[in-house]
Amino acid sequence: MTGPRLGPAAENLGLVTRQLHALRTTYPAWEIHYSPDPGHWTAVLRRPLTAQLAAGGVRKRLAAPDAITLASALAHHTTLLHT
């Protein structure tokens, strides 16, 4: 027997919560947020953006329409931060 079925809003909230947790633990150098209206994901670099980092292509703030797109941008920027 299965438990009570959650509605779409509760299921979506659970997914967003899991995605936020995964992104925040994978990319601790970034402050990551989700805004539900409209669905918008953002990440802000926690450390100062130096001229050298900016010249290397690092941006202080990233935005994406979904968690997967933001994860891709964060992975790319992590590479830039460590080169």
Tens digits of residue pLDDT in 63-81: 999 999 999 999 999 999 9
Residue 10 has pLDDT above 70, yes or no: no
- Give burial (CB, 10 Å; 0-12/13-18/19+) of 82: exposed
Find residue 30's DSSP bridge partners.
45
Considering the domain boundaries, does residue 57 fall inside one? yes
Considering the domain boundaries, does residue 1 fall inside one? no
DSSP per position, 6-32: PPHHHHHHHHHHHHHHHHHHH-TTEEE
The pLDDT of residue 39 is 72
Residue 52 amino acid letter: Q
The count of structural domains within the chain is: 1
pLDDT, greater one: 14 or 45:
45
Structure tokens at 79: 């590479």
The pLDDT of residue 4 is 56
Considering the domain boundaries, does residue 46 fall inside one? yes
* pTM score: 0.82
The pLDDT of residue 36 is 84
